[in-house]
Amino acid sequence: MTNNDDARATNWRERFGRWLPVLGVAVVVYLVAAYLVVPRVWRSAVEHHPDLSGGPRVTQTANGIHGDPVNLALVGSESELVRAMIAAKWFAADPITLRSSLRIAVDSVVRRPDEEAPVSDLFLFGRKQDLALEQPNGNSPRQRHHVRFWRWDRAVDSRPVWFGAATFDERVGLSHTTGQITHHIGPDVDAERGRILSEVQEAGQAQEVYYMDAFQQELQGKNGGGDPWHTDGRLGVVLILPSANPDTAARNPSATP
């Protein structure tokens, strides 16, 4: 080995020696971050979000047939939920009566919008929906956005949880399963889920909005009218902004059993 080779080797060892402490610090920082800090952050995030995995997945019709899939959950009191949905420009649906049924039939024929058109009953937890709301689409109740909510028997930080099934009524027709007159829903239930989450957030009523992955085990199916639906399996969750006065009560906009 020549003198030049010896000099280069010496210089390399000196430079490596200077960088060795920096490299050691970098390795320690990586190990701490990867194995201590990041896992703790993820655990905190998971613990912060309520565990809704025990919630129901699919509604049922009065005949016990699978109905619309559950695709969102709102956390808050009844008055907070009503306030949030009204602020997002949703309307309370009338209960089904002979009068309301005749009205929606006439409105469909003359193409007159009906913000309070009745919504058929679906069942969760052995009872029909606690709340039903809708948004008109165009000039006829043949098409509308609608959502049903059921209160869960569990709470998150003493706040009620409301599971919802949101779908879009594309047209009026005959049920593929019973032959009864019904609304046929659009297959993209995820679009309706995202619509409500966005509108509640844009209305300034959301404390937090997030998605729970792999909530739905079945990613496609058919509802009680035989209409197909598909989903990415996520549950959309909104923690509603708490009321300044939690004792304020709101009138139930839908018939409660």
Cβ atoms of 121 and 257 closer than 8 Å: no
Element (H, E) at 236: strand 235-240
Cβ atoms of 146 and 186 closer than 8 Å: no
Q: How many whole angstroms separate alpha carbon 73 and alpha carbon 163?
A: 4
The pLDDT tens digits of the residues spanning 15-39 come to: 666 667 777 777 777 666 655 655 5
Amino acid letter, 59: T
Q: 181 - beta bridge partners?
A: 174
- Find where tokens 């320690």 sit: 28
DSSP annotation of 37 reads I
Cβ atoms of 237 and 120 closer than 8 Å: no
The pLDDT tens digits of the residues spanning 131-180 come to: 999 998 866 667 889 999 999 999 988 999 999 999 998 855 444 444 44
Query: Among candidates 170, 196, 180, 186, which has minimal Cα distance to 229?
Result: 186
Domain ranges of the chain: 1-48, 58-240
Q: How many residues does the chain have?
A: 257
Enter the tokens of residue 51. Answer: 């565990």
How many CA atoms does the CB half-sphere of 175 hold within 13 Å? 14
pLDDT of residue 89: 95
pLDDT of residue 214: 94
- Find where tokens 């913000």 sit: 115
Q: How many whole angstroms separate alpha carbon 71 and alpha carbon 230?
A: 11
Element (H, E) at 182: strand 181-185
User: Cβ neighbours of residue 49 under 8 Å, at least 6 residues apart?
Assistant: 210, 212, 237
The per-type count for the chain, helices as H runs and strands as E runs, is: 5, 14
pLDDT in 10s for each residue of the chain, 257 residues? 565 656 666 666 666 666 677 777 777 776 666 556 555 544 444 446 778 988 999 999 988 889 999 999 999 999 999 999 999 999 988 554 434 444 444 444 444 444 445 578 999 999 999 999 999 886 666 788 999 999 999 998 899 999 999 999 885 544 444 444 555 789 999 999 999 999 999 999 999 999 999 999 999 999 888 889 999 999 999 999 998 754 444 444 433 33
DSSP annotation of 188 reads B
Q: How many whole angstroms separate alpha carbon 135 and alpha carbon 146?
A: 6
End-to-end distance of the chain based on CA atoms, in angstroms?
A: 94
Cβ atoms of 22 and 30 closer than 8 Å: no
